[in-house]
């Protein structure tokens, strides 16, 4: 499989839902993978893990956020300086950042 195959898989992933609001694209999307031409396609177990994380955690977060990192295969994990035991490699970890809207909501609740 070529890197172009990964790009096609990534694009097609926008149509493959793993939960109400998340798709395979969200799982595999990585600016570093694109920049370094790393094929970050998931295994079937990665998708199972990501689906559980999306349904049991992400769908329950009560504020808007941006996904920074979800799945990182071993090559991508090494490229970003991840630890060898990172749960990103099995799609059991996700890094998120609250969006501006979430930060505004938080500020309003403090005032």
Residues 16-33: tens digit of each pLDDT: 999 999 999 999 999 999
pTM of the predicted model, to two decimals? Answer: 0.85
pLDDT surpassing 70 at residue 58 = yes
Q: Which residues lie below 8 Å from residue 49, measured CB to CB, with a gap of 6+?
A: 90, 91, 92
Q: How many CB atoms lie within 10 A of CB 7?
A: 14
What element of type H or E holds 76? Answer: helix 74-79
Give the residue-averaged pLDDT of 87-108: 80
What's residue 99's pLDDT? Answer: 87
pLDDT at 78: 98
Q: What pLDDT sits at residue 101?
A: 75
| Region 1-17 average pLDDT | 89
């Amino acid at each position: 499989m070529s890197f172009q195959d990964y790009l096609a898989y990534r694009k097609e992933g926008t149509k493959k839902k793993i939960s109400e609001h998340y798709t395979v694209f969200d799982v595999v999307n990585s600016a570093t993978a694109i920049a370094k031409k790393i094929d970050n396609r998931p295994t079937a177990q990665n998708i199972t893990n990501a689906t559980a994380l999306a349904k049991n955690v992400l769908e329950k977060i009560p504020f808007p956020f941006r996904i920074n990192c979800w799945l990182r295969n071993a090559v991508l994990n090494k490229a970003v300086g991840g630890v060898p035991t990172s749960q990103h490699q099995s799609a059991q970890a996700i890094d998120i950042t609250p969006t501006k809207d979430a930060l505004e909501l938080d500020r309003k609740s403090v005032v």
